[in-house]
Amino acid sequence: MMLAIIIPYYKLTFFEETLNSLSNQTDKRFKVYIGDDASPENPLVLLEKFNEEFEYQYFKFDTNEGGISLVNQWHRCIDLANEDWIMILGDDDILSPNLVEDFYKNLPEIESCKSNVVRFSTKIIDSSGKLISDTYNHPKTERVIEFLCRKFSKQTRSSLSEHIFKRAVVVEKRFRNFPLAWHSDDMAVIDFSESNKIYSISSSCVSVRVSEISLTGDEQFMKVKNEATFQFCDVLFKEYAASFSKIQKKIILKKLEMAYFNIPSFTNYLVISSYYCNSIGLVDGFKFQFRLFKVFIVSVLEKLQLLGLVQKVFF
């Protein structure tokens, strides 16, 4: 057995649907590792229903780590497994029945391509399981920077659940610990690929759930998510800028700029200005300054207008 499916468990709401999708796999050459993050929602009664359906190991941790660091929770769940390949599956996401079978069918080619990262097609479902997106497919092999630019240009999407990683690389490099683990999955694809191409399988799919109880669907964390986006793009430029073309740098800087406008600070201003001037050129640096000036003027005018309304009301 070469594949471990690791579930960092916390919420019971959609967990049975996730387990059903594992039970329905046409190829059962996998072992499931469930790392309970000290959840108040005990899944043991539910798990008993699947005792004869697939092999699994359940471990309940004494402390809640995900509330402090999702990445640390992932790591301690990964440490439960020792298979060659690992998938980290959300406790509310669903695999198509042929996913494991397709992985093994493609494994000889995956290994011949020396790919450390395997990716499946995805679609988005809501809390009722209703499809709310088209299916996102990918080129059979793709350089990770090209994928990232497609994602930043809103031509595709990604999350952690649809990936299978070579475990040895994950153990060696580990996930980066961004706030809320936001973009930690994107960074992992870059780090773990080790300049090799991502291998994609389009004949099977992962349904990724976005609901009111999921982190992706929760708007209250937008400021933290923007901080994580800024940190992620900053790391990209510090460590991988030599791999980007000028056009790719512009795409990533646009993402960095959007995050900056949501969390402006003088330190972040210096960071983004230096990237524009040093990586793209002075002209684009001046254009950024002009956009920044326009945002400032609009903000001032809005405040003055608000002040005028207040004066009318109270004076």
pLDDT for 285 equals: 78
In angstroms, rounded to a whole number, what is the distance separating the alpha carbons of residues 105 and 284?
A: 47
The amino acid that residue 33 corresponds to is Y
pLDDT for 216 equals: 57
The amino acid that residue 121 corresponds to is S
Q: Contact 78/88 with Cβ under 8 angstroms?
A: yes
In angstroms, rounded to a whole number, what is the distance separating the alpha carbons of residues 180 and 217?
A: 13
Beta bridge partners of 163: 119
pLDDT for 299 equals: 63
Q: Contact 138/156 with Cβ under 8 angstroms?
A: yes
pLDDT for 286 equals: 79
In angstroms, rounded to a whole number, what is the distance separating the alpha carbons of residues 195 and 57?
A: 34
Q: Contact 37/10 with Cβ under 8 angstroms?
A: yes
pLDDT for 229 equals: 92
Q: Contact 165/86 with Cβ under 8 angstroms?
A: yes
Strands 3-9 and 141-142: unpaired
In angstroms, rounded to a whole number, what is the distance separating the alpha carbons of residues 258 and 47?
A: 43
Alpha-carbon distances, residue 17 vs 128, 151, 154, 169, 207 (angstroms):
11, 28, 29, 30, 11
In angstroms, rounded to a whole number, what is the distance separating the alpha carbons of residues 193 and 116?
A: 5
Beta bridge partners of 117: 165
Q: Two tokens at 192?
A: 């773990």
pLDDT for 215 equals: 59
Beta bridge partners of 8: 35
Q: How far is CA 171 from the centre of its chain?
A: 18
In angstroms, rounded to a whole number, what is the distance separating the alpha carbons of residues 148 and 187?
A: 10
The amino acid that residue 160 corresponds to is L
pLDDT for 158 equals: 95
| SS3 (DSSP) at 33 | strand
Q: Which residues of the chain have pLDDT under 50?
A: 309-315
Alpha-carbon distances, residue 84 vs 10, 13, 160, 245, 276 (angstroms):
25, 30, 18, 34, 41
Q: Two tokens at 230?
A: 């800024």
In this structure, the dihedral spanned by the alpha carbons of residues 37, 205, 29 and 171, taken in order and rounded to 10 degrees, is: -50
> DSSP secondary-structure letter at 9?
E
In this prediction the pTM is: 0.89
The amino acid that residue 305 corresponds to is Q
The count of C-alpha atoms lying within 13 angstroms of the C-alpha of 214, restricted to the half-sphere facing its C-beta, is 18
pLDDT for 305 equals: 65
Q: Residue 211's closest CA among 6, 15, 5? A: 15
